[in-house]
């Protein structure tokens, strides 16, 4: 199988307003030895050839990360699909066929995210998103901000956003969506920080999860 990293630009989605956390750059919150966004960078960087950050406002505040900052091209913070479009446009201009997206508030994302999504891709399902199974119900839990997206669909996405579509799955279902399922043991890799209580939990989990990786993320 072709190494997917040669055709993938990674895009960290950090363009939200973080209202439930009081605003600001949620990814800058500390887990102890490093911030959430530093953990995301460390876990995502080995999985793609190039990594960029989708964020709005002054890009200089992220200079220490060493990543190119790509803002939304549409006004009004229309949501993560706008970040996907910004990443698609940026990747297309640089010759990439796909982008891999991940949220900046999910510091324990799978180390094998790119490979699993790539293997699940078919001609009938050109977009592949991440999912887990709810241990209690067995139902699929979708994590649509974590996905593999062909940049060839960027003009269709631009039209959809301009028409008011904002929910990821409403757009992806038009094109065929594959789902790559990830285990939730020994930890849920898609645990995300939406509220202060989540941050407390992430701080408790971080030493355990990074210990399971046997090697802590760079910067710790």
Q: Which residues are annotated as a binding site for Mg(2+)?
A: 105
Cβ neighbours of residue 102 closer than 8 Å, sequence gap 6 or more: 10, 11, 12, 13, 40, 44, 109, 113, 145, 146
- Cα–Cα distance measured from residue 68 to residue 60, given in angstroms and rounded to the nearest whole number: 10
Contact at 8 Å (CB) between 158 and 150? no
Residues annotated within the binding site for GTP are 13-15, 26, 54, 72, 105
Long-range CB pairs of 129-133, under 8 A, 24+ apart, other chains included: 129/168, 129/169, 129/172, 129/177, 129/178, 129/179, 129/180, 130/179, 130/180, 130/182, 130/190, 131/179, 131/180, 131/181, 131/182, 132/181, 132/182, 132/183, 132/184, 132/188, 132/189, 132/190, 133/181, 133/184
Distance spanning both ends of the chain, measured CA to CA? 33
Residues annotated within the binding site are 13-15, 26, 54, 72, 105
């Amino acid at each position: 199988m072709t190494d997917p990293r040669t055709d993938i630009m990674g895009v960290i989605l950090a363009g939200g307003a973080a209202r439930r956390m009081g605003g600001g750059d949620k990814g800058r919150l500390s887990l102890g030895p490093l911030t959430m966004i530093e953990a995301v960078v460390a876990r995502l960087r080995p999985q793609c050839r190039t990594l960029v950050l989708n964020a709005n406002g002054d890009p200089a505040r992220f200079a220490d990360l060493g990543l190119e900052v790509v803002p939304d091209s549409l006004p009004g913070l229309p949501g993560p699909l706008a970040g996907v479009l910004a990443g698609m446009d940026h990747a297309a201009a640089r010759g990439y066929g796909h982008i891999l997206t991940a949220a900046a508030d999910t510091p324990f994302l799978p180390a094998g995210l790119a490979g699993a999504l790539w293997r699940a891709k078919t001609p009938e399902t050109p977009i592949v998103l991440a999912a887990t199974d709810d241990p209690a119900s067995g139902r699929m839990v979708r994590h649509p901000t974590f996905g593999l997206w062909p940049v060839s669909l960027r003009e269709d996405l631009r039209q959809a956003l301009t028409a008011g579509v904002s929910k990821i799955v409403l757009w992806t279902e038009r094109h065929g969506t594959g789902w790559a399922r990830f285990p939730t043991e020994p930890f849920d890799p898609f645990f995300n920080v939406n509220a202060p209580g989540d941050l407390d939990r992430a701080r408790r989990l971080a030493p355990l999860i990074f210990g399971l990786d046997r090697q802590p993320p760079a910067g710790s």
